[in-house]
Amino acid sequence: MAQSVFQVGGNFGSSLGPLLIAFVVLPQGQKSLAWFTLAALFGIVLLTGLGHWYKQHGQAIQKKHAAVKHTLNLSRKRIGGALAVLIMLTLSKYFYLASITSYYVFYLMQHFHTGERDAQLYLFLFLAAVAAGTVIGGPVGDRIGRKKVIWISILGVLPLTLLLPYVALPVTVALSVVIGLVIASAFSAILVYAQELLPGRVGMVSGLFFGLAFGLGGLGAAVLGALADRTSIDFVYKVCSVLPALGLLTGFLPDIHKPDVGEEAETMATVEVLAPLGSEE
């Protein structure tokens, strides 16, 4: 859940992009975006405050979490294989998301002859569903397990993605919302699963998978753009519709069951950390 809360800010912010285009940029021009640099300035102020807070309390939090680390009875080869599977699942997710976020507007305008403003609003619905799915995926993964969420969120959307290029506009919009909602729940589960594979390497794992997420998204947009130039955007959506089939690789992931004692110790550690912070406030 913590990972989902962390990610939802970026996803929700991204979802507002099409609204800015529809209601600010299209009627007033790109220069109107200059006012939104104030939001970036506000973010700098917030992060400065957060940095001072973490300097005072971060080391204590890390020590508490280090005390409740659990070890897995998995060989290096098995852990390496699981990480490779997680990387392939990340690739399938972000390549497919790149096909929507980068080319959905053009697809709607060319395939259904929608206006640019309407197409941007439909893109907002998809990105808002991605933000909602990000929030939902965390607590669901805590309850039923990361692996089950990965199964459902990637392989579960395959029938919908295969159907998407062949349906009418209302069904296309509805399917894209459901796809965004479901597929977005995967990343927090993938990331936390990888962190559990390599306990004590939270920073390294987070850097690796966030770097892959952004990098694969950019690479996917470029590759799909080149493919669209050679063929058509319709063809790109047909090709991308099979990407969630890579979710079958989830079957190669080992089952990770965190001991109940560890969970209880972690909960107690969190309470011990937050208690003095609450008293200071």
CA-based Rg of the chain, rounded to a whole angstrom?
Answer: 21
Distance between CA atoms of residues 256 and 71, nearest Å: 11
Number of domains forming the structure of the chain: 1
Q: Is residue 222 part of a domain?
A: yes
Confidence (pLDDT) at 273: 44
Distance between CA atoms of residues 263 and 123, nearest Å: 40
Q: Token match 């890390």: residue?
A: 62
Stated pTM of the model: 0.75
Confidence of residue 10 (pLDDT cuts 50, 70, 90): confident
Q: What is the DSSP string of 95-131?
A: HHHHHHHHHHHHHHHHHS---HHHHHHHHHHHHHHHH
Name, of 58-62, 199-203, 274-278, the range with top average pLDDT. 199-203
Across the range 61-83, mean pLDDT stands at 72
Comparing 57-66, 105-114, 160-169, 218-227, which segment has the lowest mean pLDDT? 57-66
CATH number at residue 107: 1.20.1250.20
Distance between CA atoms of residues 105 and 79, nearest Å: 40
Using alpha carbons, list the distances in angstroms from residue 153 to 66, 125, 138, 139, 207.
31, 18, 12, 14, 22
Q: Is residue 143 part of a domain?
A: yes
Nearest-CA neighbor of 94 among 259, 233, 265, 210?
210
Q: Give the whole-number percent of the chain exceeding pLDDT 90.
A: 37
Q: Could you report the per-residue pLDDT of 24-42, keeping only the tens digit for each?
A: 888 888 888 888 889 889 9
Q: Is residue 209 part of a domain?
A: yes
pLDDT at 267 > cutoff 70: no
Confidence (pLDDT) at 62: 63
Confidence (pLDDT) at 70: 56
Confidence of residue 223 (pLDDT cuts 50, 70, 90): very high
The identity of residue 106, as a single letter, is F
Confidence of residue 61 (pLDDT cuts 50, 70, 90): low
Confidence (pLDDT) at 232: 92
Which range of residues forms the domain containing residue 235? 2-24+74-256
Across the range 246-252, mean pLDDT stands at 91
Distance between CA atoms of residues 16 and 108, nearest Å: 19
Comparing 24-28, 108-112, 269-273, which segment has the lowest mean pLDDT? 269-273
Mean pLDDT of the chain: 83
Confidence (pLDDT) at 69: 54
Provide the 3-class DSSP secondary structure of residue 185. coil
Helices (H), 113-259: 116-144, 146-154, 158-163, 169-183, 186-197, 202-230, 233-240
Residue that wins the pLDDT comparison between 30 and 120: 120
Q: Is residue 172 part of a domain?
A: yes
Q: Is residue 29 part of a domain?
A: no
Q: Is residue 31 part of a domain?
A: no
pLDDT at 140 > cutoff 50: yes
Confidence (pLDDT) at 56: 81
Confidence (pLDDT) at 126: 93
Q: Is residue 67 part of a domain?
A: no
Confidence (pLDDT) at 59: 65
Distance between CA atoms of residues 200 and 66, nearest Å: 7
Confidence (pLDDT) at 186: 86
Confidence (pLDDT) at 112: 94
Q: Are 175 and 53 in contact (CB under 8 A)?
A: no
Comparing 113-122, 158-167, 177-186, 198-207, which segment has the lowest mean pLDDT? 198-207
Q: Is residue 275 part of a domain?
A: no
pLDDT at 281 > cutoff 60: no
Q: At what angle do helices 76-111 and 233-240 cross, to 10 degrees?
A: 150
Q: Which two tokens stand for residue 213?
A: 């997420």
